[in-house]
Structure 1
Amino acid sequence: MHNYLELKIWQEARKLVKEVYSLTAKFPKEEMYGLTSQIRRAAVSIPSNIAEGTGRNGDKDFQRFLEYAIGSLFELETQIILANDLNFIISEDYEKVYQDIKSLIRIIVKFKSILKV
């Protein structure tokens, strides 16, 4: 069993959640129950799935939860692209969060590949 608090992937996912919350706080208020909520839920599910996976029975189960986290990252990426299309995000903020999402996908995929199944 892994200690998720010590995992770089979990720590980076937490940073991404904070970044997403700051970013979505600037969205139009009428989006609070729309895209804002969707984006925040997708972001929160990433570290949550990593943490849940560490408590499962071995690396095979953990890998499955890492796949869920990656799926949530792709969901988040799509939602950020849509928010950009709708001009809810300034380009500098969009580029930063987009690159952070891509980076987290890469490190989770790399971590997943070293687990023993």
Structure 2
Amino acid sequence: FQLSETDFNAFVTWLEGKDYSYETRAEELLSKFKEVSEKENYFQAIKVDYENLRKALAADKKQDLMKHRKEVTLALQEEIISRYYFQKGRIENLLQSDPELAAATQVLGDQAKYNQILSGK
């Protein structure tokens, strides 16, 4: 199963109508920074800059789906496959995108490389 461009765009459109939120690592660190700066009485001096940075991070989150399109697509594919093809389908899908398996298959197809590895040279 391969998630099409149309399917991905439909997912993005569907998601726009949903109320979801998550905190990025940058937002988490920014919150901690705010806590520390308040405790040390520096926050009032940097409040405007803090708010600008917080707004910039929030705006950037809207682009996360596009920035991480490959990862989101793979996650959607895995979820769809596991739902319709169960464990067998999930394993088959993972094997298709496994870089170690691809490298091993390439070595097995190259007799000279295979012999070199076995000889320890």
Higher relative contact order (CA 8 A, sep 6+): 1
Bigger radius of gyration, 1 or 2? 2
